[in-house]
Amino acid sequence: MPIALQGAAFLPAPASMTRTPTPSSHAAPESPSLRSEAEEAAEWKSQLLLAHYRHTPQAVLSGMALSAMIAGVLWGTAPHSTLIQWLVSVELMMLLRLLVARYYLHGGGRARWSMRQWCAVTHLQTTLSGLSWGALGLFYAVVDDQAARTALLMTLMGACAGSAALIGSIRGTLTVYGVLSMSPLIGMLLTRGELAQTYMGAALVYYVYLVMVKGPSRISGAMAEQHANRRDRDRLVARLEDAERVGQMGHLIWNEAARCSTLSAEAQRQLGFDSTTIRSAREVWSRVISEDRPRVIELSSQAVAREDRELRFDTTISGPFGPRDLRVVQRFDYDAQGRHVQTLTTTQDITELKTTQRELRTLAFEDVLTGLVNRAGFTQRLHERPVQAVLMLDLDHFKYVNDTLGHATGDRLLVMMAQRLGTCLRSQDTIARLGGDEFAVLIHDAVHHDQLERIARRLVEALSAPCRIDDHDIFVSASVGIAVPESAHSATTDAATLMQQADTALFAAKAGGRSRHQFHSEDLSQRTRDRVTMEADLRRGLSERQFSVHFQPKVALDDGRIVGAEALLRWNHPERGPVSPDVFIPVAEDSGLIVAIGAWVLRDACAAAADWNRALAPGEPPLRIAVNLSPRQFLNHDLIGTVTTALARTGCRAEWIELEITERLLLDERGQAGETLDGLRAMGLTLAIDDFGTGHSALSYLTKYPISTLKIDKSFMRDITTRTDQAGVVRAIISMGHSLQLQLVAEGVETEEQARFLREQGCELAQGWLFGRPMPRQDFTALLRARAAQALTPTV
């Protein structure tokens, strides 16, 4: 839009693509829509047909008068009855044409009949009219008066000439009319044998060609060209207006000499003007909001004073659609003397762009779901404001809520938790949602250790209270990790370190039992560093094959036969030496490496079982190798596929493998454990519960799942011969196992007294140092060969 000094115009409002609808009271006329060639042709035919019927009354009335006059001229020389018949027929035909034209123009005929039907009617009328007037030429042969003949000839020529002007808009009609109306007369003149009349006939042929054939084509071509030019101009205007509307860009031109602005259609829409011409610059400037108007006028004035060629700025207008943001570009023209003569101003409505930028700024620092500060905003405040403590929180078992009740319920739970956090903390504290179920708190004021304790306990209690959502009582808990600058023995601990320390404390709180808080300490950091190092070593050890599988014999207590073994993972670190499974297995579990490690152990155990069982003498009972399964390996991966692959690759039979699981796997409420156990049992593998008696032991689990074996935890063996309570627990487990028809295996048997007690109570199998320590595969093979012919003799 053009904005010029002392009388510029610019300023936009919403265009057709903005969200705000354009009120009809302020909307400028819409630009004509672009139409196809077929639509343009149909419209052009419709206009020609309309022009034809608009001219029909004039043509009919003049024709009726002309027919009456020529009848009067011929009355004295032509047969009266024939002449009257001709006159009546012509007058009736013309009256019919007049009625049809009235029906088309005023009787609703345009809507009832198609354009093709009306064109057919027009051609029929033209044919009838040509035949009627052609009959007049037949009177030439019966009229003896030369003056009457001349009048007849002139009448027909005049009728043709008049028709060219009045009915020639429809293609083909004029030619048909001319040929039909003049052919009888031309035929008689050419066949009478007189030179003068032959000449007149030939002249009439040429006349018909010029007036009735060639003339209409030239007129039609000129009209079509004019229509095409107008159509092209309209299309160009429509495209320009559409481009302005789509781009939400208007323009106006200020003419300094005329002291007026010419507005485009989009400029009219943006500014809310009804006219394309505005004669007062003040009207345009009034659209700029009052607080920005002086700045904008000053910018334009200074640009003209400096004879700048271009000026760009953003402003806000208050138009018919409310406040709108505009991007304005002004281009100034000057004459040879440097006088300002014209300004072209273009304006683009950037309201949505500005709104989006503001929304993006909000989104960049605010969590959409809870309205809390997000991670970016949290980090910003962590660096910008003094921080006395950082608290990291997350919800225990939140994933279970999402998995069972859906993410919509999970989102509502997060909103409720955010609201509870707000009630537990002060307005000056920063509360943030970092993502998922992870929250954080910044304490900006000085606080003591005891105060932080109370805050942490209050947060844990508030977040652990039950929530009622859609008839569901949801119970979650929270863990909190706390870091303060002093925890790093420095009052200037940087923000990133504080967040890392709070994260470390949160991890320790969750590992310590959840639903609790934990302060950061240097010892926690060291343990975290050790864990990170351990994980890296585990990955390297897996790729470099530093692991091995040892096998601990499992024997029958009645005769000492080796009935199988338990596969146990061992790690000989190249620098640390042997690393205890109690140290590296938890790290492998947390990192997920246990899945790959477990699959490798299973394949190695299957290969060993296949070799040992193939070497047995005929008739000897097969050896069964037990393999421990990780909960993570069991629940989160395709365990059945892993087992199937291991058996297929090693040629091991399913009945040679026993899979050991922990009791907490049986607590799975989603049904996945039962489906997997049933699938494994259907394959022919046996299933055992490891470390029975130390977890959530329950008879319901033992009867619900296809368990074959119970392994009595080694912690019961230590005092089995010296403490009656321990002995009583073992007796109860053995009795329960027998009643459920389960096989029993005692772990950690180290003395003959322990073995005798177990034998007396009816325990079938045992393993422990009394019968052999875990050993490499080749040593276990040698042991099998040495005991092939005799039972194993127990030694301390």
The strand pairing partners of 689, in sequence order, are 661, 710
Provide the pLDDT for residue 284.
Answer: 78
Residue 184, pLDDT above cutoff 80: yes
**pLDDT the model gives residue 33:** 47
Segment 550-561, tens digit of pLDDT: 999 999 999 889
- % of residues, the chain, pLDDT over 90: 18
**pLDDT, tens digit, for every residue of 474-531?**
888 889 999 987 644 444 457 778 888 888 888 888 877 778 888 888 777 787 778 8
Task: Name the 3-class secondary structure at 646.
Answer: helix
Question: Backbone phi, then psi, for 4, in 5-degree steps?
Answer: -130, 155
How remote is the C-alpha of 89 from its chain's centroid?
A: 75
Residue 608 has pLDDT above 90, yes or no: yes
Q: Please check the confidence at residue 645 and state whether its pLDDT lies above 90.
A: yes
| Residue 477 backbone dihedrals phi, psi, to 5 degrees | -130, 175
- Annotate 235-262 with DSSP letters as a single string: HHHHHHHHHHHHHTEEEEEEETTTTEEE
Quickly tell me which residue has 């006939």 as its tokens.
Answer: 201
What confidence tier does 472 reach under pLDDT thresholds 50, 70, 90? confident
Place of tokens 């046996």: 686
User: What pairing do the DSSP bridges indicate for beta strands 340-349 and 322-334?
Assistant: antiparallel
pLDDT per residue as tens digits for the range 2-24: 333 333 334 333 333 333 333 33
What is the predicted pLDDT for the residue at 654? 94
Q: For residues 147 and 613, what is the distance between their CA atoms, to the nearest angstrom?
A: 138
What pLDDT was estimated at residue 383?
Answer: 82
Query: Among 717, 775, 778, which Cα is nearest to 746's?
Result: 717
Across the range 652-664, mean pLDDT stands at 90
pTM of the model: 0.50
pLDDT at 752 over 90: yes
Residue 26: per-residue pLDDT: 38
Both tokens assigned to 520? 């950061």
The model's confidence at residue 763, banded by pLDDT at 50, 70 and 90, is very high
| Residue 276 burial by Cβ neighbours in a 10 Å radius (0-12, 13-18, 19+) | middle
Residue-level pLDDT at 656? 95
| SS3 call for 167 | coil
Whether pLDDT at 248 is above 90: no
* 155-182 average pLDDT score: 74
Q: CB-based contacts of 297: which residues, under 8 Å, 6+ apart? A: 285
Query: How many Å apart are CA 182 and CA 207, to the nearest integer?
Result: 10
